[in-house]
Amino acid sequence: MTTTVLAAGDDFVLPRLLRAALDDAVGAASTEVEVRELALPWPHVPFGDVAEVHEASGDEDQLIDALADAQVCVTQMAPLTRRVLEASPELRLFAVGRGGPVNANLEAATEHGVRVTFAPGRNATATAEYSIGLLLAAARRIPSTHAAVQRGEWPSSLYAYDAVGLELEGATVGLVGAGAIGGRVARILRAFGSTVLVHDPYADPEALDGVELVELDALLERSDVVSLHARLTEDTREMIDGAALARMRRGAVLVNCARGGLVDHTALADALRSGHLAGAGLDVFDVEPLPQDHPLRGAPGIVTTPHLAGASRAVAHRAADMVAEEVRRYLAGEAAAHLANPAVLR
């Protein structure tokens, strides 16, 4: 019996990358797997909500048509909604090449007997490296001084003692979260010669060699730089609020490449404008794209990038490889490596 697989790629994880990964995983010459391609418009068209799912690309009708008679879908952004599931009775596996399958209705998928898998850690290296780059950019004012030179200015006054930035060697850097990304950031910082503090109630101390595990308040009070790598939950939402920012050292720097909802952005803007914080580097925000009236627009010392920390060619290939491996496991009758809805197996 032939298994039909829909490779629903986009302009980052390309359909041809998904096909090539499937060929490698299940065999290019296999007559038992038929691969069908669909091109979704992200990132040239921003992702958004599609019916009840989030951060999705394309629409329900497009996916329903493409899934006709398909048992498997590999994707990054396609919307797996209740309506799509009801219209795709043969679908059995929906493999998402991202850290969390927010574009899939897990409850409805479980009801319809569809396994949903995801790809944790696919962008861990890219995001860790980007976090260090954003840290240096904010701490040393690299973007603003570049812009000044391009305007014909020469801001040598920034050599003044009260204006200069910090060195990572000898600095204390606090990491909130030490999972796949935070753990890599810790290793990079140790190579720089930083003292690394970590707050993570779920961390394995044996996996974090050379760092000190501390409570959040202690981390905020002792760190020259605070970098966020936590998941966004009801417990962590706006964990960096006005009170937390006030605990940070005067002249400290905040970096966030995790989730925008971890930070109270109005309080952060106030801390920057008052001079309490020397800078902040943010790749994620509470509202994306950033509205014209957002409080962080024009804030001093801010470095902002448009949610690009996880963007590298290696990430695209890794995502394709991880979903293709889930297809191989499914065809071989093996357990999924990363199953988002384990209740589907009951």
* Marked catalytic residue, from 37, 288, 294, 317: 288
Same fold? 3-122+312-345, 124-304: yes
DSSP letter at 32 equals S
* Marked catalytic residue, from 112, 199, 247, 259: 259
Is 146 noted as a catalytic residue in this protein? no
Is 60 noted as a catalytic residue in this protein? no
Tell me what pLDDT residue 140 has. Answer: 96
Burial grade of 29 (CB within 10 A; 0-12, 13-18, 19 or more): exposed
Tell me what pLDDT residue 346 has. Answer: 87
CATH classification (class only), 124-304: alpha beta
Confirm if 38 and 19 have CB atoms less than 8 A apart.
Answer: no
198: helix, strand or coil: strand
pTM of the full predicted structure? 0.93
Tell me what pLDDT residue 28 has. Answer: 58
- What DSSP letter does each residue of 238-287 carry, written as one string? T-B-HHHHHHSPTTEEEEE-S-GGGB-HHHHHHHHHTTSEEEEEES--SS
Phi, psi of 54 (to 5 degrees): -120, 160
CATH number of 3-122+312-345: 3.40.50.720
Is 92 noted as a catalytic residue in this protein? no
Give residue limits of the domains in the chain.
3-122+312-345, 124-304
H/E stretch holding 93: strand 93-96
Tell me what pLDDT residue 300 has. Answer: 96
* Marked catalytic residue, from 231, 276, 307, 317: 307
Tell me what pLDDT residue 29 has. Answer: 54
Tell me what pLDDT residue 30 has. Answer: 63
For the chain, 346 residues long, the average pLDDT of each consecutive 10-residue run is 95 98 83 93 95 97 97 98 98 97 98 98 97 98 97 95 94 96 96 98 85 97 98 95 98 97 98 98 95 96 97 98 98 97 95
